[in-house]
Every structure is written in structure tokens, then in C-alpha cells.
Structure 1
Amino acid sequence: MTETTSWNDVRIAFKKIWGYDNFRPPQGEIIRSILEGRDALIVLPTGGGKSICFQLPALLQTGLTLVISPLVALMENQVQELRDRNLPAALLHSQLTPQQRRHTLQALENQELRLLYLSPETLLSAPVWERLSQPHLKINGLILDEAHCLVQWGDTFRPAYRRLGAVRPTLLKSKPPGSQIPIAAFTATADPSAQDTISQVLQLQHPQAFLISPYRQNLNLDVQIVWTPRGRRQKMLQFIQARNRQSGLVYVRSRRDGEELAQWFGERGYATTAYHAGLSSQERREIEQSWLSGKTQFVVCTCAFGMGINKPDVRWVVHFQPPQLLSEYIQEVGRGGRDGKPADALTLISEPTGWLNSEDKQKRQFFVDQMRSQYQDAQRLVKKLPEHGNVAAVSQQFRQGEVALALLHSAEQLEWQDPFHYHKHPSSDSRALVNLSSHQVQVQKLMTQYLTTRQCRWQFLLKAFGFKKEAMGLKCGHCDNCRK
């Protein structure tokens, strides 16, 4: 706790801003830890009230808290909620108009903000970094929201994540002596290996860990085999028809699948829409509002939908195709039943051999091939990269340069001297990338094991995410395997 903030002040502010009398465990402990300026790693199930845990401390302190967030939609939702309460929060992302951007940078310059939401890429862009590095700008803390994205995307898809560990030490060099910038990483899903990666990449210092089991007694898990592409659609339709007017979500793995399926539903009289990262900010906002208000029964969406959107009465979630990763799955099913009432999560899969219905097998193979190709490109690049250099120059010279640097960092063959300059180990070995690629394939296999397991599904998930004690002897009684 800060000298000027008592726990009573915290409770009063919580009641005044959000209208609640009491924190849900472990919200109070997390808020206390952040106010005390400690590093923290927080694994809290979807719907556990993560955002309040960092928003409240930020609003109680003078200075700025940076919230590093993966998706524009997620930032927009959280900032809009804060602005609706007249709280000093803003966001920066690539889709803002020049005028909106100037306005936010001016507010930053004038120290009018308490919370600034931005992506890793925006954080590390020259105009933003220059302002954040000014000695007079007090930075209270760094929050990494949806920290599992660092693990899922940091190697190949969003390589800027791999540079975040150099942010704190570099910013502190420009701040007055004695300044501190604690870091807190929040996620709903991180197994022990992902927790280690997050801690190592962010260079967390003796982090206080808050690890809450993802088990939800009200969430009924079900995996069903479908024998043909047509059968998959029919099974889904029957499932939704049986839940007439109940609010839900249909998850697909690609933009194209989403658009085709939304059209198919439209032909059958369902007013639904495809939601994906290719839509404009306004289009996304309209779809979200229509769904949140109950005008639209369900949305056909990619993984871009749902992070940070709070709708308690989601009664069902369908995975039209299974996700690649278990962490994605548990995030997405966790959007059901946040109000504590029963919710059903159905995942449709092709029959195990893939002979009759090869959809899932082909999709899985496509992602594995794509990943291997990126690793092979990086392997070829390793020898060409200079031993010292900066990201901008490498990206300009080599098409996959930034990805190669991220992969080398992941393979512990490279260090970031600051977020823009690297030092490659003289003994850098491209074979380390082969091991990295094999590890990623193993991570994807875990999802297949879950889909084909005959044990209690919740027991499998708890074991996979490191909650072995809670998993011991568990028979949930409400997944398809237990019900059999």
C-alpha cells in the first residue's frame, strides 16, 4: 500500500466507481499487491474480474499505468467502460484517426491520464516511446493483459511481445533515481510452462503468484464426432434450436469460415453476423452491442471476439471447429455461464481417422506446416543476421527478420539490450530452433489428446494447467465422459 492510500480509501473508491461493497476473492489481495508495488503473475478464470484488479490501483495513484493489450476490440471495450464513468483512460492503436491520436498524445504529454491502453507494437513505436521516456512522466506500472498471448503469439505472429522484458529497465534509465515500475501479468490460462515463459520474458522480480483453478461447476463440456461436413452443420443447428432464444457464441478458426457460416445461418432465418479482426472498429462495436443487448442471439466469431467483453448470461458456446491450443479452448468456453448458472460448451470434431471427414486433419496440418515454414525461414536467416543490431534495420533488410530475432530470443540465443537493440550470442545455433518447433507441435498435440480422452474432461484440463491437486480423483459429473 502507498503511504497516502489506506485500505479504507480503496474500499470507498471501489464502491464509488463500480458500486460493489466487497471484492471477490482474490481481487482484494491482488489489488493490495499492486498498490504495494510488487511484481505479480495472476491466473484468474474468465469472468473472475481481472480488469478491476489493475484499473482500481491505477486510478488511486498519481501517474500513468500502461496496459499492454493484444486486441483493438479488447482495448476499446475496457476504455469505453472507463470513459462512461468519466475516468481518465485512453488508448492508442493503428486504427485511430490522426486527430484522435494527436488528442491522446497531448493528454499523455499533459499527464492527464491514469490508464493508457496500447499494443506491444504501439508501445514500441518511436513517437509513443519518445513521450513515455520523458523524465517528468511518472509511470506507476506496466500491466500485461491477456498475458497468454505472449506465449501463443510472441514467437512468430506478434514478435514485439518478445521485446517487452527490456521495457522496464530501459524506461527506468530515463526516470528520476529511485523510480520503480512494477509489472503485473494477467491471464485466464497459463500452464506451468507458460507461467515460466511469461516470468522470464517480462523479467519479473520475485513475482507474487495468484493461481486460481479454471474449474467451473456450472460449465458442461461436450465433444461430439461428426462424420461429414454437412453433418457438422446439422448437429450444430440442432444444438442451437434446442436452446431457442438463449444467448450463445459459435467459434470458427478462420475469417472465411465465419463469413460462410454466417451466410448459411442467414439462409435459415437466423440474424447473425461474422466477427473477425478484418472488420472496422465501428462494425465490431455494432456487432458487440447488438449481441450484448440481446438483439442478436449469437455471433459467429474467430478468437478475436470475447476477450474483455462481459456478458454474464451466455448459455452456450459451440466450437464449430476445435481450436489449435488448449489455452484458446478454455478461454473461449469460459465465456459461457459467467452468472454462475448452467452453460453448455459443445465442440464438434471429425471422426478420429479423418478418412471420411478430413476437415479438422487438414486444418491442423495447415497450421503445423505454416509454423514449420516460419521456423525454417528463421533458421536460414540466423547466419545472415549481424551479431549486434537494431530491429528496424533487420526488418528492413530481411522479410522475416523480426520473427527470426523473436525465435532466437525464445531459444535463448539472443538478448535484448533495450527494446530496439539486440546482441546475438556468438555461438547462436539454428538447431535450437528445431527443438523450439518440436515443442510447439507437442503443445498442439495436447489439444488432440483432450478431444479424444475418455477421462473426465475437467480433470484433464486441471492437470494440463498445473492444478494437479484439484484434479486428483475428480469426476465432475457434468462432462460427456462423466455422463457416459
Structure 2
Amino acid sequence: MNRLSSSSWHDVRAAFREIWGYEDFRSPQGEIIRCLLARNDALIIMPTGGGKSICFQLPALLQTGLTLVVSPLVALMENQVQELHCKKLPAALLHSELSSIQRRQTLKALEEQKLRLLYLSPETLFSPPVWERLIKPEIDITAIILDEAHCLTQWGDTFRPAYRRLGAVRQALLKYKPVGTKISIAAFTATADPLAQETIQKVLGLQKPEIFRLNPYRSNLNPTVRIAWTPNGRKQQLLRFIKNRPKQAGLIYVRQRSSSEELAAWLEELGYSTAAYHAGLNAEGRRAIETSWLNDKIPFVICTSAFGMGVNKPNVRWVVHFHAPLMLSEYVQEIGRAGRDGKPSEALTLVSEPTGWLDPEDKQRQDFFELKMREQQIEAQQLVKKLPRQGEINSVMAKFPNSATALSLLHSNGQLEWLDPFNYRIAAEGKSQASTHIKASKQMHKYLFSRGCRWQSLLKGFGFGGESENWRCGHCDNCLKVRS
């Protein structure tokens, strides 16, 4: 890696103090910033609240070109850009919810090279008005940052097919840039097990990346799993939990939109001020709920996994999973939204008893997930037989509506490769990945019904197996049972 001189590093630290007001970096912020300033590829696995945005914002501001930040959620982009604007820094965002005037202003600033950071979703990145400007030879692009990179590996209702095309972006851009241009790629995520890390590196085409892995253990976060013997028992356990924590900020996660609305309506009837949040709400409705929660006007939100990513609220005292997530990576992401201020916080998960005889809902959700994965694979295999060996994605989408997920699965299987972000080629016969995702969901089930230390299980699941077999966190429900 190119080393910065001591005088240059002094300037970096001085800029950090001037912009953010902190005296020095937290480990490994400094090392990551050095890496990105040297324009090296990187994979950064950093727990929520670890200060990851500074790691790519500071290098972007210190360099002369443009850094593209690909982010999955509008709320996440808006929060970060608003903070940068408050500091009068040259950043902007593009997404489908902007007015035409705002969009034109940002595209003009992009053309005039007045920006250092441009936040956008993968779908916006691939839209013609944006892509046609980015490929202009005079637009100097220094780096591509993929925030919340785990979205590359997660399948299900929140899956974004466009993520699988991001690995073709760098080479496609370089074709239009002056010889010798270097564009680095850095992927940031709070959770990635060893298999997910491998997938992220492969899909994005990272070149000899520096890897920064922070242990996700949080001594202030206390995970607990409780069995709910009946559907009504699950609701009563939730109610008791909430009653014991008046005026504390929290989040209640469910897996379906209908569940969020039903649960919110039930709690409102009981006199609680809350709201249902899911991807089916319009932009205005989502922003209103986020703002009310962030400003403590409502203490908790009933939400699907669509809520919380990148939302910065330090004083969240608890997270309840009314329904358990399907994967450990989702679980760690969601419980990580509690206790960012370092104070003790609770993470409660309610599960049906293992047989599912008294309450079959959890088992039904698991079976539905597995069935959906297999159906998607069948659709993908049917589609690949109808596709020309080489083609363009928009033509395929026009001929075969709703084929985006199938194309992404074919790419995941190794049956399709992207020649550039818009053109594909059918590759040698690959292998179905459905079993991989089903295996990951089985890992979650094993965690929920484990009698061992919760944190030890999580650390092993994310590749931090160096902890002693006898090590226990001492503050999860299973550790507390042993102590009592």
C-alpha cells in the first residue's frame, strides 16, 4: 500500500479535527482512511455505530475527484447528506423521490464537477440520465463505495436485483476514462459471515482488497430468546415487556407488512402511541414515521426489515423481534440498532415452541421462505432456456416481466456473467444457491434454540472463532441461567 508521509497524515488528521471536531481516529478508522486515500480496494466489516461513514467521507473530501456512494435506502442517504450539508461540504444525492428541479440541480453539479460525494441507489446509478453523465471522460471518479454491502447476499422480500450488477461498474467506467485512471472499490457492512465476505469480494471484483474485520461483540447488548406457546401468549409477552419500559425508545420487528399493521392497531387500541412501518408506505409516510421516532414523539415503531438501516438514534434501549429473522446477518443488523450510546440495552426475540403444534406461525414462515427460494430457482432455470446466449437486460425485462430476480439468481449460480452493467452472457452451467440460503436459515434456527452463550454462537457464526470454548459473555439469557 502507498504510505502517506507524516506531514500528509498530519494534514488528514487536521482536516478530521476541523470537519468533525474529534481529536483522533478510533481504530481502525485511520487504517481504513489510509487504504482509501491510496485508492486500494477494501472490505470493511464494522458494527453499527462504529463510525464507518467517516472512513469514506474524509478520503472523498480530501481528493479532487468524485466518490460514488451506492446505498440501499433513501433515509440512509438523506441522513448522511444532510449532515454533510450542515458542514457545508460538497455532497449530493439522487433518488426517484426527488423533484425534477432537485434532480436537474444535482445533475448539473455533477457535470460541473462541483461534487466530492454523490449518494445514489444502484437502480439510480444504472438510469440513463445518470450513467450517461458518469461515463463522460472528463468526470473524474476516484472511488465507488458500497454501503450496507450485505444487501448483495440477502435474498427475500428486501432483495435488490441491481446489486448483482455492481461488479461490472468499474470496468465499464474505465473504458471511457483516460489511460491510467484508477477507481477503487470499498464495501462496508456491519455483518458478513465468511461465506458472505467471499461473495461480496467475488461479485464486486475486488482486487487484492485490504480486509478490516471488527468483532461484533457488544458488552452492553443483552440478547434473550423466549418461547411463546400461543399466538396470544406472544402478544402478552410483548405487552409486559413494553409496560416495564415506559418512555424508552425501541423497535419491534415483524416479518410481514400485514403483521406490522395489525400489531400497531392492537397496541394503539391499548393506548400506546406507535406506527406501522414497511416498504409498502409512500415516501412521505415513511419519512413522517422516521422523524416522529427520531424526535421521541413516538417511543417505538412496529416495522419490517425495511426500517432502521443507517438511521442514527443512539438512545434505543431495546429491540424486540416479535418474529425472528430468517438469517443471523439480519438478526445482528437489527439488534445492533439498540444501545449505540454504550448504555445497557435489551434484545428480545419471541419464538414458537420447536414443534409448532401450538403456534405454527414460525414454522409456516420458514417453510414459505424455503418454498419461495425453490420456486425462484425453478423460474430462473426456466428463463435461462429461453434467453439468447448474449443479450441486454432491458430487452429481457421487456420480454419477460419480473425477470430481474431470476437473472440475479442465474448470476449467483454462476450461470450468467455481466459483460457490463447492461449486457449479459450465459456462462457455463452453474450450481443452484437455494440450498446455501436455506442452510443459512437453519443456522438461525439453531441459534434460537441453543442453550449455549448467545454471543459465543454469534461470534462463531461470523468467523470470530478464536474465543475459547469456555468463554461466556455473562449477560445473555443462557449465561444468566447458568449463573443463577
Does TM-score exceed 0.5, indicating one fold? yes
Identify the match of residue 480 of structure 1 among 471, 477, 481: 477
Residue 105 (structure 1) aligned with residue 107 (structure 2)? yes
CA contact (8 A) 1:462 1:471 kept: no
1:358-402 deviation per Cα after TM superposition (whole angstroms, max 9, x unaligned): 111112222222222111111111111111111111111113433
Question: SS in structure 2 opposite 1:282?
Answer: helix
- Counterpart of 2:42? 40
Q: After TM superposition, give the deviation of residue 18 of structure 1 in Å.
A: 1.5
Return closer, same or farther for 1:82/1:126 CA change in 2, 3 Å cut-off: same
CA contact (8 A) 1:5 1:60 kept: no
- Counterpart of 1:389? 391
Q: After TM superposition, give the deviation of residue 471 of structure 1 in Å.
A: 5.6
Aligned length: 479
CA contact (8 A) 2:43 2:212 kept: yes
2: distance between equivalents of 1:324 and 1:118? 28
1:296-352 deviation per Cα after TM superposition (whole angstroms, max 9, x unaligned): 211111112111111111111101100111100000101111111110100001111
Residue 441 (structure 1) aligned with residue 438 (structure 2)? yes
TM-score (norm 2): 0.96
TM-score (norm 1): 0.96
- Counterpart of 1:219? 221
Residue identity in the other structure for 1:468 = G
- Counterpart of 2:276? 274
2: distance between equivalents of 1:5 and 1:73? 38
2: distance between equivalents of 1:78 and 1:153? 26
Identify the match of residue 344 of structure 1 among 343, 346, 361: 346
Q: After TM superposition, give the deviation of residue 224 of structure 1 in Å.
A: 0.2
Return closer, same or farther for 1:141/1:59 CA change in 2, 3 Å cut-off: same
- Counterpart of 2:57? 55
1:175-186 aligned at under 5 Å gives the runs 175-186=177-188
1:410-429 aligned at under 5 Å gives the runs 410-425=412-427, 427-428=428-429
- Counterpart of 1:287? 289
2: distance between equivalents of 1:301 and 1:168? 35
Question: SS in structure 2 opposite 1:283?
Answer: helix
Q: After TM superposition, give the deviation of residue 121 of structure 1 in Å.
A: 1.2
1:406-462 deviation per Cα after TM superposition (whole angstroms, max 9, x unaligned): 22221122221111111112x436xx22xx111111111111111111111111100
Residue identity in the other structure for 1:477 = G
Runs of 5+ consecutive residues of structure 1 not aligned to the other structure: none
Residue identity in the other structure for 1:474 = W
Give the share of equivalent positions with the same residue, in percent.
Answer: 63
Q: After TM superposition, give the deviation of residue 154 of structure 1 in Å.
A: 9.5
Question: SS in structure 2 opposite 1:152?
Answer: coil
1:324-335 aligned at under 5 Å gives the runs 324-335=326-337
2: distance between equivalents of 1:168 and 1:155? 28
Residue 451 (structure 1) aligned with residue 453 (structure 2)? no
Q: After TM superposition, give the deviation of residue 279 of structure 1 in Å.
A: 2.6
1: distance between equivalents of 2:393 and 2:467? 44
2: distance between equivalents of 1:155 and 1:178? 41
Stretches of 4+ moved more than 3 A in 1? 1-5, 153-157
Residue identity in the other structure for 2:474 = G
Residue identity in the other structure for 1:132 = L
CA-atom RMSD, angstroms? Answer: 1.8
Range moving further from structure 2, 283-292 or 60-69: 283-292
Range moving further from structure 2, 255-264 or 40-49: 255-264
Runs of 5+ consecutive residues of structure 2 not aligned to the other structure: none
